[in-house]
């Protein structure tokens, strides 16, 4: 018998397991079955919270397809909330994930997560590209609500270039105001649109500054709610001091 928790951050949802005292060995098929919306618990990913020397904890993130993923921003925020709920820290924490160390703060029911420093924009296959811990393509739309994100996202994610390059997450952005954007994301590893993608909205905020002079902090509307991204740009065009903030909530506890 194993207990697990379900968390969501702006509708990006995760099965969360406290793996500090127990050895969890789940196969790719088992993780995919747990994440399945119809045959399992249902989630965009599964996260193990483990012990880590020199840090409060380690986050190990698997995409819904059962493969270990690159960094997940909303998953990171949910893991921080999980760690606080487990009594690991009270206000401030530092943890390690696949893309390196992260700091985070708890502000009421919101989690403010420091993201990895990000290289300057690259033009890849005709679009802006950033690696904010995960690979992200940024594409603008002036009618985001009407977009078929599953169709348009898959067409790019599976085109010749990205197939050879290992795939990417594909974000569609609509400019909304002087400091606000709306974003919809097709996620690699889920292979569908999710309600929100933390590393994705981070890439979009950086690009809104780079291409449209949008000032930090940028408010981002996603299908699952509001996020905020703040950042600084260095003279070489790269970005540092990037913070992603938004709600992260426990949804339920279960046993299997």
Ligand X SMILES: N[C@H](CCC[C@H](N)C(=O)O)C(=O)O
Binding residue ranges for substrate: 12, 63, 73-74, 169, 187-188, 198-199
Residue 246 near ligand X by CB under 6 A: no
Minimum Å gap between C-beta 97 and ligand X is 11
Annotated catalytic residue 78: no
Residues in Cβ contact with 244 at an 8 Å cutoff, skipping those fewer than 6 apart: 73, 76, 77, 112, 113, 115, 198, 201, 202, 227, 228, 229
Site residues for ligand X, 163-202, by CB under 6 A, read 169, 187-189, 194, 197-200
At closest approach, how far in Å is the CB of 53 from ligand X? Answer: 25
CA pair distance 48, 62, nearest whole angstrom: 9
Catalytic residue flag (residue 35): no
**Integer angstrom CA distances of residue 247 from 79, 80, 113, 214:** 12, 11, 11, 23
Footprint (CB under 6 A) of ligand X, residues 33-72? 63, 69-70, 72
Q: Which is nearer to ligand X, 100 or 256 (CB)?
A: 100
Distances (CA, A) of 110 to 27, 59, 74, 161, 226: 32, 18, 11, 38, 11
Cβ of residue 1: shortest distance to ligand X, in angstroms? 29
Q: Which residues carry out catalysis?
A: 72, 197
| Binding site residues, ligand X, CB under 6 A | 12, 63, 69-70, 72-75, 134, 169, 187-189, 194, 197-200
């Amino acid at each position: 018998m194993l207990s697990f928790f379900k968390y969501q951050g702006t509708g990006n949802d995760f099965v969360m397991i406290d793996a500090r005292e127990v050895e969890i060995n789940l196969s790719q098929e088992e993780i995919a079955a747990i994440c399945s919306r119809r045959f399992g618990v249902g989630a965009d990913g599964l996260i193990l919270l483990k012990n880590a020397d020199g840090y409060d904890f380690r986050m190990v993130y698997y995409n819904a397809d059962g493969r270990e993923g690159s960094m997940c921003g909303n998953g990171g925020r949910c893991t921080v909330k999980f760690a606080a709920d487990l009594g690991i820290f009270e206000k401030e924490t530092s943890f390690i994930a696949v893309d390196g160390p992260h700091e985070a703060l708890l502000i009421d029911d919101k989690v403010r997560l420091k993201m990895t420093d990000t290289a300057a924009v690259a033009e890849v296959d005709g679009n802006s590209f950033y690696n904010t811990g995960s690979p992200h393509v940024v594409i603008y739309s002036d009618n985001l609500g009407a977009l078929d994100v599953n169709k348009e996202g898959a067409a790019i994610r599976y085109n010749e270039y990205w197939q050879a390059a290992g795939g990417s997450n594909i974000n569609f952005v609509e400019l909304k105001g002087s400091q606000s954007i709306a974003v919809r994301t097709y996620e690699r590893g889920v292979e569908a649109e999710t309600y929100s993608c933390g590393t994705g909205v981070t890439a979009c905020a950086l690009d809104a500054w780079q291409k449209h002079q949008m000032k930090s902090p940028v408010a981002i509307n996603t299908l699952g709610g509001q996020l905020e991204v703040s950042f600084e740009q260095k003279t070489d065009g790269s970005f540092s001091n990037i913070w992603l903030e938004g709600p992260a909530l426990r949804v339920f506890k279960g046993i299997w």
